[in-house]
């Protein structure tokens, strides 16, 4: 199985490292526009092989899409990262042209690939990739919900003082500081609702911390985070390549699901060899439905900025 990662920055390189270390794919290609950058990252990763025991072939190329031919999955991380004080929404004008060009180029050499979008603002960039390429909706997936859910589980684990891997929790809605919806009502610790252990006040703080999880790290690091985003992409790619059919919150195109149409937004999906194999209908309560509708309106508003690009 072959995976191409376009953009060899922190997130892309971390994704390549995790995929290689875990043996998720037999071949990983890193592509970047900066001369020698992807080649250097790939060589650095390959030099870990004898010490960590992986056999994945990792290579890097400078803007040569022919080397990506035959990719089963293409991950798009291209674009500028957030700076402190910058919202994901402010990146639209800069990153939209980049994502559109990348999606068109990879399809020239991998017409049957599944595309995973990481570039921000992620929901809008996923929608752009879908509309610009004309691919079936199951083959364009935005990664954000996997990352947001991971952060949610981390904050819950800190509040509970229990292992994050024993916690089941999901974030739906837009991948933005004000649009994501941590489903505290449905979160559980080894099958027991977390509401049995945590007060409403604590749960609200957990939800609030989750929503600004990315911004918090940007403020601390001076740029966007990369370890958790890269690992979240690898987690999603693993479910695709190995047909694991995991339930993962992803930004996908909806046609009536959750009362929304013509946008890409985070909803629970079954992810397998065909990409998005099913959108699951979780019964939301009235408050959650209202929050989801508000989130969808915000995402739809950002999509309006793409009109000139999609013409």
Say whether 145-306 and 2-143 share the same fold. Answer: no
Torsion sign across C-alpha atoms 24, 29, 33, 38: positive
| Residue 17 and residue 25 in contact, taking contact as beta carbons nearer than 8 Å | no
Q: Which of 238, 40, 60, 61 is nearest to 146 (CA)?
A: 238
Domain segments of the chain: what residues? 2-143, 145-306
285 labelled ligand-binding: no
**pLDDT value at 9 more than 90:** yes
Judge if pTM exceeds 0.75.
Answer: yes
Which residues, 6+ apart, have CB-to-CB distance to 202 below 8 Å? 159
Range from 11-25, 50-64, 191-205, 211-225 carrying the lowest mean pLDDT: 211-225
Assigned CATH class of 2-143: alpha beta
- Cα of first residue to Cα of last residue in the chain, in angstroms, is 35
Percent of the chain with pLDDT over 70: 95
**pLDDT value at 80 more than 90:** no
11 labelled ligand-binding: yes
82 labelled ligand-binding: yes
**pLDDT value at 90 more than 70:** no
* pLDDT for the residue numbered 89: 59
Range from 70-74, 199-203, 242-246, 301-305 carrying the lowest mean pLDDT: 301-305
Task: Give residue 83's pLDDT band: very low, low, confident or very high (50, 70, 90).
Answer: low
Long-range CB contact pairs, 85-92, < 8 A, 24+:
86/218, 87/176, 87/177, 88/120, 88/121, 88/122, 88/175, 88/176, 88/177, 88/214, 89/121, 89/176, 89/302, 91/119, 91/120, 91/121, 92/121, 92/124, 92/302, 92/305, 92/306
CATH architecture observed for domain 145-306: Alpha-Beta Complex (3.90)
**How many Å apart are CA 224 and CA 245, to the nearest integer?**
29
119 labelled ligand-binding: yes
Q: Which single residue is written with the structure tokens 């933005």?
A: 176
297 labelled ligand-binding: no
The residue-averaged pLDDT of 116-128 equals: 94
Percent of the chain with pLDDT over 90: 86
**pLDDT value at 88 more than 60:** no
The residue-averaged pLDDT of 40-66 equals: 96
User: So which residues are the catalytic ones?
Assistant: 175
Is 115 exposed, middle or buried (CB count within 10 Å of its CB: 0-12, 13-18, 19+)?
buried
**pLDDT value at 84 more than 80:** no
* pLDDT for the residue numbered 307: 66
271 token code pair: 């992810």
5 token code pair: 């990662």
* pLDDT for the residue numbered 97: 83
**How many Å apart are CA 93 and CA 80, to the nearest integer?**
11
Whole-number average pLDDT of the chain: 94
């Amino acid at each position: 199985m072959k995976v191409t990662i376009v953009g060899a920055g922190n997130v892309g390189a971390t994704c390549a490292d995790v995929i290689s270390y875990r043996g998720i794919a037999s071949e990983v290609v890193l592509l970047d526009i900066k001369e020698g950058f992807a080649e250097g990252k790939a060589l650095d990763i390959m030099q870990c092989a004898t010490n960590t025991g992986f056999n994945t072939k990792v290579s890097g190329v400078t803007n040569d899409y022919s080397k990506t031919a035959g990719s089963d999955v293409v991950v798009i991380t291209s674009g500028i990262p957030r700076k402190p004080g910058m919202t994901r929404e402010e990146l639209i004008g800069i990153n939209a042209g980049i994502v559109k060009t990348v999606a068109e180029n990879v399809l020239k050499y991998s017409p049957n690939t599944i595309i995973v979008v990481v570039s921000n603002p992620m929901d809008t960039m996923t929608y752009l990739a879908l509309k610009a390429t004309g691919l079936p909706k199951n083959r364009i997936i935005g990664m954000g919900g996997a990352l947001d859910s991971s952060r949610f589980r981390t904050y819950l684990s800190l509040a509970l003082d229990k292992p994050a891997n024993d916690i089941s929790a999901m974030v739906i809605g837009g991948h933005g500081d004000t649009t994501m919806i941590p489903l505290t009502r449905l979160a559980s610790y080894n099958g027991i609702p977390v509401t049995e252990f945590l007060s409403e006040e604590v749960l609200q703080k957990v939800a609030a911390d989750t929503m600004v999880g990315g911004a918090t790290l940007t403020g601390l690091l001076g740029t966007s985070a990369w370890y958790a985003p890269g690992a979240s992409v690898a987690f999603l790619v693993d479910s695709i390549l190995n047909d694991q059919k995991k339930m993962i919150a992803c930004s996908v195109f909806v046609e009536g699901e959750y009362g929304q149409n013509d946008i890409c937004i985070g909803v629970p999906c079954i992810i397998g060899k065909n990409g998005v194999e099913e959108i699951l209908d979780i019964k939301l309560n009235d408050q959650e439905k209202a929050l989801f509708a508000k989130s969808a309106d915000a995402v739809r508003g950002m999509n309006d900025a793409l009109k000139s690009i999609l013409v």
